[in-house]
């Protein structure tokens, strides 16, 4: 699963995901994110400090659903669709933590509602 180009301004989170994938190759027991973060804090506390904290982030996003997932999940889940997001539709984030967005209009309907960045493509200005 590829999360695409969402890492600009969230370099700590990108680096932690990169290390996490390397650690998984070495030790499958650290596949659990929270356990990995415990180890990462011991190794590099500065990198972990402030990472994955929700902060304001207004981005123009295109909903791609499960397009970045491997088959057969991609076809099966895209066929099901979503009860709010329309494939190819444009939405705006209000905040981001390096992994999940709050989406304007959708997140406000239920406090704390967020969605993963893997379901979106970030459309940068000029694109």
Q: What is the pLDDT of residues 59-71, one digit of tens each?
A: 999 999 888 888 8
What percentage of the chain exceeds 90 in pLDDT? 39
Close Cβ partners of 77 (under 8 Å, ≥ 6 residues apart): 65, 66, 69
By C-alpha distance, which of 99, 53, 108 is closest to 120?
Answer: 99
pTM over 0.85: no
pLDDT for 15 equals 85
């Amino acid at each position: 699963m590829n999360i695409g180009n969402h890492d600009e301004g969230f370099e700590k989170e990108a680096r932690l995901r990169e290390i996490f994938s390397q650690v998984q190759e070495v030790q499958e027991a650290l596949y659990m994110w929270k356990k990995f973060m415990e180890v990462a804090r011991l190794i590099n506390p500065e990198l972990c400090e402030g990472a994955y904290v929700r902060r304001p982030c207004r981005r123009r996003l295109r909903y791609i659903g499960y397009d970045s997932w491997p088959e057969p999940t991609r076809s099966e889940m895209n066929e099901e669709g979503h009860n709010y997001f329309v494939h190819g539709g444009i939405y705006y984030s209000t905040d981001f933590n390096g992994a999940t967005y709050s989406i304007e209009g959708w997140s406000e309907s239920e406090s704390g509602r967020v969605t993963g960045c893997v379901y979106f493509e970030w459309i940068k200005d000029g694109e």
